[in-house]
Amino acid sequence: MSKRTIGILTGGGDCPGLNAAIRGIAKTSILDYGWNVIGIQDGYYGLMNDLKRELTFKDVSNILPLGGTILGTSNKANPFASLEEGKKPIDVSDRVVENLEKWNIDALFCIGGDGTHAIAHQLSKKYPNIIGVPKTIDNDLMCTEQTFGFDTACSFVTESLDRIHSTAQSHHRVMVIEVMGRYAGWIALEGGIAGGGDIILIPEMPFSWKKVVESVKVRSKLGKRFSIVVVSEGAHPDGEDMVVREVIKDSPDPLRLGGIGEMVADRIEKETGHESRYTVLGHLQRGGSPSFFDRILATRYGVAAARLAKENDFGKMVALRGTDIVSASIEAATEGLKLVTPDMELIKAAKSVGTSFGV
Amino acid sequence: MSKRTIGILTGGGDCPGLNAAIRGIAKTSILDYGWNVIGIQDGYYGLMNDLKRELTFKDVSNILPLGGTILGTSNKANPFASLEEGKKPIDVSDRVVENLEKWNIDALFCIGGDGTHAIAHQLSKKYPNIIGVPKTIDNDLMCTEQTFGFDTACSFVTESLDRIHSTAQSHHRVMVIEVMGRYAGWIALEGGIAGGGDIILIPEMPFSWKKVVESVKVRSKLGKRFSIVVVSEGAHPDGEDMVVREVIKDSPDPLRLGGIGEMVADRIEKETGHESRYTVLGHLQRGGSPSFFDRILATRYGVAAARLAKENDFGKMVALRGTDIVSASIEAATEGLKLVTPDMELIKAAKSVGTSFGV
Amino acid sequence: MSKRTIGILTGGGDCPGLNAAIRGIAKTSILDYGWNVIGIQDGYYGLMNDLKRELTFKDVSNILPLGGTILGTSNKANPFASLEEGKKPIDVSDRVVENLEKWNIDALFCIGGDGTHAIAHQLSKKYPNIIGVPKTIDNDLMCTEQTFGFDTACSFVTESLDRIHSTAQSHHRVMVIEVMGRYAGWIALEGGIAGGGDIILIPEMPFSWKKVVESVKVRSKLGKRFSIVVVSEGAHPDGEDMVVREVIKDSPDPLRLGGIGEMVADRIEKETGHESRYTVLGHLQRGGSPSFFDRILATRYGVAAARLAKENDFGKMVALRGTDIVSASIEAATEGLKLVTPDMELIKAAKSVGTSFGV
Amino acid sequence: MSKRTIGILTGGGDCPGLNAAIRGIAKTSILDYGWNVIGIQDGYYGLMNDLKRELTFKDVSNILPLGGTILGTSNKANPFASLEEGKKPIDVSDRVVENLEKWNIDALFCIGGDGTHAIAHQLSKKYPNIIGVPKTIDNDLMCTEQTFGFDTACSFVTESLDRIHSTAQSHHRVMVIEVMGRYAGWIALEGGIAGGGDIILIPEMPFSWKKVVESVKVRSKLGKRFSIVVVSEGAHPDGEDMVVREVIKDSPDPLRLGGIGEMVADRIEKETGHESRYTVLGHLQRGGSPSFFDRILATRYGVAAARLAKENDFGKMVALRGTDIVSASIEAATEGLKLVTPDMELIKAAKSVGTSFGV
């Protein structure tokens, strides 16, 4: 192959650093390898529906600090269970492969989280020249120590807790902050530690109402008239299920979690008599300019992904190990989710500085 | 009076700039006039319950950038309708006046919004040496062009809209952001203009569902696949009431508004078919370090308030007029709320740059 | 005139809010009046050298939060003393008028500071259909209470002082921060008050070395082992001239000030024995996304400027008076600079909270 | 030892995260182990001069987000070469050991960079119960993948470059930004990549004037009328020395670097004719609230350091390896500096996205 053509798509929820990763792949492809770059619009939806455009060097200049993705994204489109064509999901993956061939795409870069990589893995059985790039604010992808987007999301959580602190102290209130993370507690755990959360509730450590209430009361007895509670959207009491806000039929991730923050605030107010308020950080965690860390990580991922393609090392996802960028098989990366383990050093460190996990 | 003693309290909801105002009053009193300064804790609650401490120069040093209030606040305590002593609210204002006399307070500074000033006005009939300092993020106080806290709150709304923009664009979504403001639309209006909101809904301009939906559709036809809708918590459709989240019995402000953001997102999704999401900014708007503007304004208010006391010009609230700090009678300041008027220049300017108000 | 064509240029130094003002003029012109809009590139340089392009609605969409100016700017180009064509400055203003007529420009909008408005005033004698829009981070323009850019610059100064505080306190150092402002002390004064500067030195109040040193020593005696000194680039000791870093020949503003910060730090260290360091904020003050306040002000200015053109009310500059947008004659606005007066309320307020001006 | 007493000191330059580390050590010591905690003031200076106070749980509450160090610091004091007692530096280390014994300190925690650890290593020969905690914005400490403070400093550099970009683009200028880092280029390299620097100059890769000028010209030819140059304070042309701003006699780090930024701007302007400006970020890089990342890292370091003391594992410095907190001998950590290597992946990634290193 003298002059290759590559395609890039971004799938799943919005995440800071997507443009930095696109830029990394595209600039390396154009400058180092002299390839053509095609941007596929709106994730797998664009692959299925012929939405694409060339990405020139100018198109990817100055996009490093921008939040969002210049390519658009979709978190419903699935070539193996397409909802577009009728009421029942159908498999249009053959059409997708035809499109890739018709467009002369020599390598496809899928930037996304576990849903995007699961589809990429399935697709790679029909079209093997796929490289994965891990992004998600939830940091729940296996085979990599960190995904880009996580640092920015946690930075926002940290700043938000700083803001909330002043109100909590001034009003002697319990302030409950519900954060994202789906089935993983990483954002609540790390954002919560950095923001000085007094109680942190995460899905991997189902909590006891009694212990949560007790923690607030103990602080109160020590003269601390306020408490900050950081609740992961997937947190739930021991023996109960996660709070599901909405069931999205036929979606790759069919549940939308949320609502536990309000429940926690109500219960604490009722059982302790302390005025309690809750705030749901919501989509603010997904947007905005990527942090220093995420810009570096996404750039390195992008450059390394292009290099994997150059070396014809397909079926791989780029990954972080220590200070190195390495790669893992997409298959291994999609075999489960990377979750918090209750006995990890980070949990112990949090406990050592006084954090309660309500267990 | 050779050496006076003054008392300072902060009442109502948390608001950035409270510490700057306390510092302004206290430093001027200590440095310029050589007075003693007493900090009354938790607003009127402290006046009623004997909670106070001396404020030294050191106590008010380095507090300028801090959010919240070092004095604590309460937004329920009312000496004319105290809930503390029994089930039925009773008038304990005589006890409050006794306390002020017992503590040798020569002047009382009440920093707060309309609730705090309404009580101050009542109290001034029994204890006339009162000076008011206007604070509220809602900017709805009469007789002043601006209250401190508003600039910081709107700055946060603006930054939040910047963040939300990237997600809206990437996902081609309608993003609805619910902001504070109670009965006044100032935060939604000014934060919304500065953040580039496409549709802004405020209580003073009851909206039409038809027009709101139409605005989204018109944008869609022009090729804009996303919209940002900024909704004041008190916004409501024409002919309907505000959405009341909670009724707080016997409170100075008995209604807690909120919930309209979710309703707007649901309705737009249902009627346009565009994916819609909502975010409630909540208490994040009240916290954090005060902005440049609010630090200056609160400092000037504090210094001017001390000067009013020096001149025995009581029963007044400091106020901003143009670039000048002036004063108004507390009575006049509490005769109503300062609301947005639909034909004001700011509304017209917003329309000129393409903003819809759903009317 | 059924369908007008207007031209917009931005002149002078970079300033946050320029794009918001361009957007305000252009959107109002297109949406409200149906006019054509021409963007003239690189300020007066583009007028002289035929650099222009149409600005469509899409061109001015999503530019509200962007720092800088999409039109480019120049702070040397002057049609009445052009340096482009040879060694001696020559008058090319007739060519500029020819260009404006050739391009069918019915109204020219000049967004800039005192230099830009001085040229606009001269030009208006040959081509009267000019509207001025006041921008400058220095806030030194007459006839308006505020220019956009000032709030953003001061916000940055405030944040920088917050940062510097921690180092000053930890190291028990005198930290000197040199800020912009040219001949006016507004940035140092307001940024300095908001950032809690202990000593503020401005050009309008030539300082005494003795008093500056004394202020540091007094703080030291009170147990404060650090001091923050905010120095305007034009500040100078009584009886001495401003520190001129560079003389720019034939430029509208021929002097570049700066260097006084280093001198102040050296002198304090030498005379007090306290370790002293200086930092020059420099161009960081000019860049970045405009603040909430500046976005609102620039938008309102832009809309109001377009309206003046609609009403054929030329030779005017839009201006802020209290909460209103008004207009003033460009001539009056260029008759001098708006400077700090030593007896103004703001200076007194700063003194009341303990600030020294070294006088 | 039933109930231990530990001492904590912070040495060297100010660095965001110091308070988080102090809090981590102190809270773990108090809560988990029931130890007494002594805060030694102003680094080794306090050890030599008997400056100390008890740190209670309350003292270390709410200090997590604060910049600076509540203990004060000194970057000149050295017990082995004390300048305090006379003109010639003398060894007062025996007195320091006596003090430690007199105060019943069972373990001494030294939080600092290479200078602080070098002294700690020397001291450990006389007083072995020492634990090191690595901090420095420069990230140049051996045996750890990262020091806290680096992420915050680079985040500030990144934001500053975002600000500078708008001015560079609007004025078509070359903007040179000089950053800290001493003999190591980490801040320039990582901050520069994240901020989209076009040219990055670091001490480990002495640059060629010709290549730097060429890089600006090449961009110009490609239609890019501006360039951003990030210069490490220790950067220097091939064959020339670093620019030394000041020689500090008898100091542990006797050279103050800086001034290369101005030289680079001047040379580029002279040789390309492009208007060039420089900004020195200076002490702004050291101050401010620690970033999310640094708060987590400093907290984990603090907790792990306390644990090392619990296990009597002295002479060690805590360190980061991948996602784990490990330890290294203080001796090994002080055998040299961790520098950028020109063939590392990060350099290659930067080149792949178009960055020039002027070589």
Q: Report pLDDT digits (tens) over C203-233.
A: 999 999 999 999 999 999 988 889 999 999 9
C87 and C127: one domain? yes
Give the closest residue to B10 by CA, choosing from B85, B112, B131, B156.
B112
Query: Are C31 and B321 an interchain contact pair (Cβ–Cβ within 8 Å)?
Result: no
For strands D5-10 and D36-40, give the pairing: parallel
Give the closest residue to C22 by CA, choosing from C125, C119, C100, C110.
C110
D73 and D128: one domain? yes
C176: β partners:
C229, C278
Cα distance from A208 to chain D (closest Cα, Å)?
A: 22
**Nearest-by-CA chain B residue for C299:** B349
Instruction: Write down which residue in A252, A287, A322 finishes a domain.
Output: A287
Report the share of chain C in percent with pLDDT over 90. 89
Report d(CA A78, CA C200) in Å as an integer.
62
Question: Is residue D190 assigned to a domain?
Answer: yes
Sort A302 into a burial class: Cβ within 10 Å, 0-12 / 13-18 / 19+.
buried
List of chain B residues whose C-beta atoms are within 8 Å of the C-beta of residue A282: 277-280
| Interface check D295 vs A, CB under 8 A | yes
For strands B316-321 and C199-201, give the pairing: unpaired
Q: How far is CA A190 from CA A181, A202, A349, B274, in A?
A: 11, 11, 11, 34
- Looking at the structure of chain D, the number of domains it has is 2
Taking residue D126's Cβ as centre, other Cβ atoms within 10 Å add up to 12
Model pLDDT, residue C252: 66
Catalytic positions of C, written as ranges: 138
Query: Are D303 and A348 an interchain contact pair (Cβ–Cβ within 8 Å)?
Result: yes
| Interface check D283 vs C, CB under 8 A | yes
List of chain B residues whose C-beta atoms are within 8 Å of the C-beta of residue A74: 171
C197 and C267: one domain? yes
Residue for token pair 């409270």: B18
Query: Are B194 and C296 an interchain contact pair (Cβ–Cβ within 8 Å)?
Result: yes
Model pLDDT, residue C317: 98
Query: Are D303 and A31 an interchain contact pair (Cβ–Cβ within 8 Å)?
Result: no
Q: Which two tokens stand for residue C72?
A: 């480019």
Query: Are D165 and C287 an interchain contact pair (Cβ–Cβ within 8 Å)?
Result: yes
CATH number at residue C127: 3.40.50.450
Contact C148, C294 (CB under 8 A): yes
Question: Is residue C74 assigned to a domain?
Answer: yes
Catalytic positions of B, written as ranges: 138
Query: Are C292 and B346 an interchain contact pair (Cβ–Cβ within 8 Å)?
Result: no
pTM, 2 dp: 0.97
Query: Are A282 and B280 an interchain contact pair (Cβ–Cβ within 8 Å)?
Result: yes
Mutate which: D83, D162, D163, vs C, most C CBs within 10 A: D163
Query: Are C163 and D287 an interchain contact pair (Cβ–Cβ within 8 Å)?
Result: yes
| Interface check A303 vs D, CB under 8 A | yes
> Over the Cα atoms of chain C, what is R_g?
22
D270 and D303: one domain? no
Catalytic positions of A, written as ranges: 138
Contact D235, D219 (CB under 8 A): no
Give the closest residue to C31 by CA, choosing from B340, B348, B197.
B348
**Nearest-by-CA chain A residue for D25:** A353
List of chain C residues whose C-beta atoms are within 8 Å of the C-beta of residue D157: none
Q: For residue B141, what is the DSSP state?
A: B
Backbone φ/ψ region at D291: left (φ over 0), alpha (ψ -120 to 50), beta: beta
Q: Which two tokens stand for residue A221?
A: 């007895």
B47 and B135: one domain? yes
Taking residue B48's Cβ as centre, other Cβ atoms within 10 Å add up to 22
Contact C335, C142 (CB under 8 A): yes
Chains that touch D (3 or more CB pairs under 8 A): A, C
Question: Is residue D339 assigned to a domain?
Answer: no
A167 and A252: one domain? yes
In this predicted structure, the answer to whether residue D249 has a pLDDT above a threshold of 80 is: no
List of chain D residues whose C-beta atoms are within 8 Å of the C-beta of residue A352: 24, 27-28, 31-32, 303, 306
Give the closest residue to A358 by CA, choosing from A218, A213, A239.
A213
In this predicted structure, the answer to whether residue A145 has a pLDDT above a threshold of 80 is: yes
C105 and C169: one domain? no
CA dihedral A141→A143→A145→A149, nearest 10 degrees, is -30
In this predicted structure, the answer to whether residue C152 has a pLDDT above a threshold of 90 is: yes
Cα distance from B286 to chain A (closest Cα, Å)?
A: 7
List of chain B residues whose C-beta atoms are within 8 Å of the C-beta of residue A18: 170
List of chain C residues whose C-beta atoms are within 8 Å of the C-beta of residue B230: none
Nearest CB to A296; choose among D64, D190, D324: D190
B168 and B282: one domain? yes
Query: Are B164 and A68 an interchain contact pair (Cβ–Cβ within 8 Å)?
Result: no
Could you read off the pLDDT of D331-350 as tens digits, one per residue? 999 999 999 999 999 999 99
C231 and C164: one domain? yes
List of chain B residues whose C-beta atoms are within 8 Å of the C-beta of residue C162: 65, 289
| Interface check A288 vs B, CB under 8 A | yes
Report d(CA D349, CA A300) in Å as an integer.
6
Run of H or E including B277: strand B276-280
A 126-185 residues with CB below 8 A of D? 145, 151, 154-155, 157-158, 162, 165
Could you read off the pLDDT of D12-68 as tens digits, one per residue? 999 999 999 999 999 999 999 999 999 999 999 999 999 999 999 999 999 999 999
Q: Which two tokens stand for residue C181?
A: 């402002």
Model pLDDT, residue C73: 94
B179: β partners:
B232
D27 and D65: one domain? yes
Query: Are A322 and D321 an interchain contact pair (Cβ–Cβ within 8 Å)?
Result: yes
D 24-63 residues with CB below 8 A of C? 42
**Nearest-by-CA chain B residue for C306:** B352
Chains that touch B (3 or more CB pairs under 8 A): A, C
Q: Which two tokens stand for residue C99?
A: 């260009």
For strands A227-232 and A199-201, give the pairing: parallel
Nearest CB to A163; choose among B72, B166, B287: B287
Query: Are C166 and D14 an interchain contact pair (Cβ–Cβ within 8 Å)?
Result: yes
**Nearest-by-CA chain D residue for C18:** D170
List of chain B residues whose C-beta atoms are within 8 Å of the C-beta of residue C323: 145
Instruction: Report DSSP letters for B190-226, one per residue.
Output: IIHHHTT-SEEE-TTS-B-HHHHHHHHHHHHHTT---
Give the 3-state secondary structure of chain A.
Answer: CCCCEEEEEECCCCCCCHHHHHHHHHHHHHHHCCCEEEEECCCHHHHHHCCEEECCCCCCCCCCCCCCCCCCCCCCCCCCCECCCCCCCECCHHHHHHHHHHCCCCEEEEEECHHHHHHHHHHCCCCCCEEEEEECCCCCECCCCCCECHHHHHHHHHHHHHHHHHHHHHHCCEEEEEECCCCCCHHHHHHHHHCCCCEEECCCCCECHHHHHHHHHHHHHCCCCCEEEEEECCCCECCCCCCEEEECCCCCCCEEECCHHHHHHHHHHHHHCCCEEEEECHHHHCCCCCCHHHHHHHHHHHHHHHHHHHCCCCCEEEEEECCEEEEEEHHHHCCCECCCCCCCHHHHHHHHCCCECCC
Q: In what order do the strands lie in the sheet with B52-54?
A: B52-54, B36-40, B5-10, B107-112, B130-134, B316-321, B324-329
**Nearest-by-CA chain D residue for C277:** D283
Q: Which two tokens stand for residue A99?
A: 């499109």
Mutate which: D32, D353, D355, vs A, most A CBs within 10 A: D353
Cα distance from C341 to chain D (closest Cα, Å)?
A: 31
B130 and B37: one domain? yes
Domain that holds residue D271: 153-286
End-to-end CA gap in chain A: 58
CATH number at residue B229: 3.40.50.460
> Over the Cα atoms of chain D, what is R_g?
22
Query: Are C162 and B289 an interchain contact pair (Cβ–Cβ within 8 Å)?
Result: yes
CA D356 to chain centre: 25
Report d(CA A63, CA A57) in Å as an integer.
11
Give the closest residue to C203 by CA, choosing from C186, C222, C218, C184.
C184
Instruction: Write down which residue in D228, D254, D286 finishes a domain.
Output: D286
| Interface check C286 vs D, CB under 8 A | yes
Run of H or E including B278: strand B276-280
Query: Are C75 and D163 an interchain contact pair (Cβ–Cβ within 8 Å)?
Result: no
Model pLDDT, residue B255: 85
Mutate which: A76, A116, A171, vs B, most B CBs within 10 A: A171
* CA atoms D24, D25, D26, D31: torsion sign: positive
The residues near A98 (Cβ < 8 Å, ≥ 6 apart) are: none
Query: Are B325 and C345 an interchain contact pair (Cβ–Cβ within 8 Å)?
Result: yes
| Interface check C284 vs D, CB under 8 A | yes
List of chain C residues whose C-beta atoms are within 8 Å of the C-beta of residue B194: 64, 292, 295-296, 299
Q: Please tell me whether residue B337 adopts helix, strand or coil conformation.
A: strand
Question: Is residue C130 assigned to a domain?
Answer: yes
Instruction: Write down which residue in B256, B286, B316 finishes a domain.
Output: B286
Q: Which positions of chain B have pLDDT values less than 50?
A: none
Taking residue C244's Cβ as centre, other Cβ atoms within 10 Å add up to 13
Structure confidence at residue D86 as a pLDDT band (50, 70, 90): low
Q: What b/e sequence results for A160-175 when a residue is b if at least 16 CB atoms lie within 10 Å of its CB, and e otherwise?
A: bbbbbbbbbbbbbbbb
**Nearest-by-CA chain B residue for A161:** B284
Question: Is residue B359 assigned to a domain?
Answer: no
Averaged confidence pLDDT in chain C = 95
Biggest CA pair distance of chain D:
73
Report d(CA C125, CA C68) in Å as an integer.
30
Question: Is residue A356 assigned to a domain?
Answer: no
Q: Which two tokens stand for residue D109?
A: 């925690």
User: Can you point out the beta strands (E) in B11-106?
Assistant: 36-40, 52-54
Query: Are D345 and A352 an interchain contact pair (Cβ–Cβ within 8 Å)?
Result: no
Question: Is residue D210 assigned to a domain?
Answer: yes
C90 and C198: one domain? no
Query: Are A284 and B75 an interchain contact pair (Cβ–Cβ within 8 Å)?
Result: no
Count of residues in chain C = 359
| Interface check A325 vs D, CB under 8 A | yes
In this predicted structure, the answer to whether residue C335 has a pLDDT above a threshold of 60 is: yes
C313: β partners:
none
**Nearest-by-CA chain C residue for D76:** C171
Contact C307, C316 (CB under 8 A): no
Model pLDDT, residue B246: 85
Question: Is residue A340 assigned to a domain?
Answer: no
The arithmetic mean of pLDDT across residues D94-118, rounded, is 96
Q: Which two tokens stand for residue C294?
A: 């500046």
Report d(CA A134, CA A142) in Å as an integer.
9
Count of residues in chain A = 359
